[in-house]
Chains A and B, each alone.
Chain A
Amino acid sequence: MLPEARAETAVSLAFHICFAVFGVGLPWLMLYVEDRAIRTGDPVWMGLARKWARAFAVLFAVGAVSGTVLSFEFGLLWPAFLGTYGGVLSLPFTLEAFAFLAEAVFLGLYLYGWKRLRPRTHWWTGVPVAIAGTFSALFIVTANAWMNVPTGIKERNGKVVSAEPLAPLTGPNAAPESLHMLIAALMCTGGVVASIYAIGMLRGRRDSYHRRGFAVGLVAVLVCAPLQLVIGDWSARVVEAKQPAKFAALEGLGHSQTHAPVTIGGYYDAKSGKLVDGLRIPDGLSILGHFNPSAKIRGLNVAAPQNRTPFITQVHLSFDLMVGVGTALIGLSALVALVAIRDRRRLGVWRLRHGKWWLRAAALTGPGAMAAMLAGWMVTELGRQPWIVYGRMRVSQAVTSSTDVGWWLGGTILLYCALAVALILILRRMATGGPVTTQPQPELVKVS
């Protein structure tokens, strides 16, 4: 059952997260463009606001239903996990539920209130949506952070006898992990928006509608990129301190050593306890963990063999993918900033370049950020194996005894593929449809 249950968890979380990131990031961008629309009265800004709201309605709905699947599924697939530790995670999840409630209530006002509310009032109904979306990401990730570094509980005979309610929110990795995810969500949203308009412009639609949508998205992803490096680095040092075996798995370090290297690419060779066939950067890992090239890094041998993740190569390559994309985006960020500053000296105004190669690079930011985000989750989740709650409960102890999980998995994959294909078709129609100007309100159905 275990492989199926894992695959089911991974599929349904990955599906959910691909929509949830827009639930976190898009409201902020919508607030920005609608504010510009209200200030300038410019229909182009309003067109963007309307269009993004329509896309958001669809994305949010799919996020909401796939999230509902998750909350049931944790009980269905990992009953012993929730039965034992559900209470410990009560605070993040309860706060999370209220964030959803706030988000859904104000989203109703936002999506359907264009005509009923005055423009500024309408804008204000978007503010709680954005704040609640952000907090929902922070809260849920603290639950995951607690699974990685469980603190503040006492157990007797497999039953939790006392738990500090605040522990998941105040754990050592709660802040870096949840902030990292928040920035990731903003980067994914900005990147995908930039990609969509960049592709539109490459196809010749170079009107001000596309240029502005492009600029908003691109600035969002490129401003966040350097920030993400700082938080990712913080995250890495907390992992080094609290989950040494996971940190060792990042770079396939079989044995503790000083001057530990970073390797780009390659795969783990269990015999030698090293990564082979990769590009080696001497001292890299010691610097990442301690800012000190000669620091000693603990290897996988700090954990007993049965407590090590069996997925070392996957963890390592996922980590490389994430950091690779992060670095590339920082490079693009620096380049765009330099050119923009020079252009500004010349022209006196801020302008983004719209040449073919700039647009092509921008078109890659969306898929890149999404891939990095999913890879980051692989790092966290695969690196924690074989534990569901690090050091306390193994996935094999938590898993359901039901034999139907295979069916459930096949069904989920089919259903989600169908929904995803339909959604992409709809979003593509929206993206190529141009601004919403003639359509005053997101119309539900063609009213007779």
Chain B
Amino acid sequence: MSATGILIVIILALSAYLVLGGADFGGGIWDLLAYGRTADDQRTLISRSIGPVWEANHVWLILALVATFSGFPQVYEEIGRGLAVPVAFALIGIVLRGAAYVYKSYGDGAAGPDHLWGRVFAVASAVTPYMLGVAAAGLATGRLDKGAGLLADPFAALTGGLALASTAFLAAVYLCHDAAKSAPGLVPIFRRRALGGAIVAGALALALLPSLPSGLDNHLGRAAPFIGISAAAGVATLILLWRREFRAARATAALAVATILWGWAAAQYPAIIIGHLTVDSASATPATLRATFAVLVAGLVLLAPGILYLFRVFSRTEP
């Protein structure tokens, strides 16, 4: 009971990381790809939209990690042993992305030109989601022993690509909304990118379905509703983008991406690492599970008003 509860909290925290933190990484990807006369303006918009909330967005990852090793310590052990390579690259990306972002924003050029840190920020932003996607493939296939080999695995390349495309898509949709408020000239650019991102992400998701490893496809029935919602939300996002209703598009885009994660979780439940560990075999002692679950729920309830306040204050336009 508590074990499944903790698993749900982990999935929710990962979803929050994906749709909030993921969009921050996606912003970096568009920074990397910015071109044309307005490239500098695009980068400025991206930087501003990441500003106040990136730390808060980042902590969802920490929460998911901590809940994992509290509730399912052996899963953590297996990840540490088997997924070290993609995780290490993701970590380098996380460190460089975060540091480069503040160095660029606050450095005033004291530690090398801002555009240099801007480059570092952009490249690191693209590496991280890709590597996390690759690590996810390790959990879904149970191919943990392959070490660096996972980097060359075609299925892992697809999941990495899907993570990359989804975050870029999310960022583009959110940036449409921000641009509509503060830099209307940039709206068409990000709108085009959002549409393109949606199509690429959708195509990758479709390409994944037939190549699902055994273990995932047995329970595809359970995942079906989520896949359906994801597809519907994706289509709705396209329509909303087309009609320039960016506020609503943000919500449908986030839903489309988060439901992919939920569908995956549903398909492999109760396995946490396919072929290795399940919710029961990996869980900590009952007293620990109860205490962890209670703290997780209480903490989230306690902090919810603060989080909502943060988003409310920064959704108002600057006075």
Chain A contact residues, CB within 8 Å of chain B = 54, 57-58, 60-62, 64-69, 71-80, 82-91, 93-98, 100-102, 104-109, 111-113, 115-117, 128, 160-166, 400-402, 404, 408, 411, 415, 419, 421-423, 425-426, 428-430, 442, 444-448
Cβ contacts under 8 Å, B199 to chain A: none
Are A448 and B101 in contact, with the CB atoms below 8 A? no
Given contacts A94-B67, A400-B81, contact A105 B310 (CB under 8 A): yes
- Which of B22-63 touch A at CB < 8 Å? 40-41, 43-44, 47-48, 51-53, 55-56, 58-59, 61-63
12 A–B contacts, CB within 8 A, in A order: A61-B98, A62-B102, A69-B94, A74-B80, A93-B66, A98-B302, A108-B53, A109-B52, A115-B318, A404-B85, A421-B111, A444-B105
CA distance A88 to B292 in the complex (A): 10
CA distance A36 to B108 in the complex (A): 28
Binds A, one of B233-241, B260-268, B283-291: B283-291
CB-CB nearest in chain A for B292: A90
The residue among A66, A75, A102, A104 with the most chain B CB atoms within 10 A of its own CB is A75
Cβ contacts under 8 Å, B61 to chain A: 68
Selected contact of A445 from candidates B47, B291, B292, CB within 8 Å: B47
Cβ contacts under 8 Å, B210 to chain A: none
CA distance A163 to B316 in the complex (A): 48
Are A97 and B69 in contact, with the CB atoms below 8 A? no
Chain B contact residues, CB within 8 Å of chain A = 40-41, 43-44, 47-48, 51-53, 55-56, 58-59, 61-63, 65-67, 69-71, 73-74, 76-81, 84-85, 87-88, 91-92, 94-99, 101-108, 110-112, 114, 284-285, 287-288, 290-292, 295-296, 299, 302-303, 306-307, 309-310, 313-314, 316, 318-319
Cβ contacts under 8 Å, A87 to chain B: 69-71, 73, 284-285, 288
CB-CB nearest in chain B for A108: B52
CA distance A210 to B90 in the complex (A): 42
Given contacts A101-B299, A108-B53, contact A448 B59 (CB under 8 A): no
CA distance A107 to B55 in the complex (A): 8
Selected contact of B88 from candidates A66, A115, A161, A408, CB within 8 Å: A408
Cβ contacts under 8 Å, B73 to chain A: 82-87
Cβ contacts under 8 Å, A104 to chain B: 55-56, 58-59
Are B288 and A94 in contact, with the CB atoms below 8 A? no
CA distance A68 to B316 in the complex (A): 31
User: How near does chain A come to B54, taking the closest CB pair, in angstroms?
Assistant: 8
User: How near does chain A come to B102, taking the closest CB pair, in angstroms?
Assistant: 4
* Chain A facing B: main interface SS: helix
CA distance A24 to B74 in the complex (A): 32
Given contacts A58-B103, A94-B296, contact A82 B291 (CB under 8 A): no
Cβ contacts under 8 Å, A109 to chain B: 52, 309-310, 313
User: How near does chain A come to B122, taking the closest CB pair, in angstroms?
Assistant: 13
Cβ contacts under 8 Å, A66 to chain B: 95
CB-CB nearest in chain A for B302: A98
Cβ contacts under 8 Å, B92 to chain A: 411, 415
The residue among B58, B91, B303, B318 with the most chain A CB atoms within 10 A of its own CB is B91
CA distance A68 to B54 in the complex (A): 14
Are A445 and B313 in contact, with the CB atoms below 8 A? no
The 4 closest A-B pairs by CB, nearest first: A87-B284, A83-B77, A90-B70, A86-B73
Are B288 and A88 in contact, with the CB atoms below 8 A? yes
Given contacts A79-B77, A91-B291, contact A106 B99 (CB under 8 A): no
Given contacts A61-B102, A65-B99, A72-B87, contact A108 B47 (CB under 8 A): no
Selected contact of A75 from candidates B77, B94, B290, CB within 8 Å: B77
Cβ contacts under 8 Å, A105 to chain B: 56, 303, 306-307, 310
Given contacts A91-B292, A102-B303, contact A108 B80 (CB under 8 A): no
CB-CB nearest in chain A for B117: A422
CA distance A105 to B308 in the complex (A): 10
Cβ contacts under 8 Å, B299 to chain A: 94-95, 97-98, 101
Are A117 and B313 in contact, with the CB atoms below 8 A? yes
Are B87 and A93 in contact, with the CB atoms below 8 A? no
CB-CB nearest in chain A for B101: A61
Are A111 and B287 in contact, with the CB atoms below 8 A? no
Cβ contacts under 8 Å, A75 to chain B: 69, 76-77, 79-80
CA distance A274 to B46 in the complex (A): 63
Are B288 and A68 in contact, with the CB atoms below 8 A? no
CA distance A117 to B303 in the complex (A): 20
Given contacts A57-B106, A90-B70, A426-B103, 11 further A-B contacts (CB under 8 A): A61-B98, A64-B98, A68-B62, A68-B91, A75-B77, A82-B69, A82-B80, A94-B296, A97-B63, A101-B299, A109-B310
CB-CB nearest in chain B for A422: B111
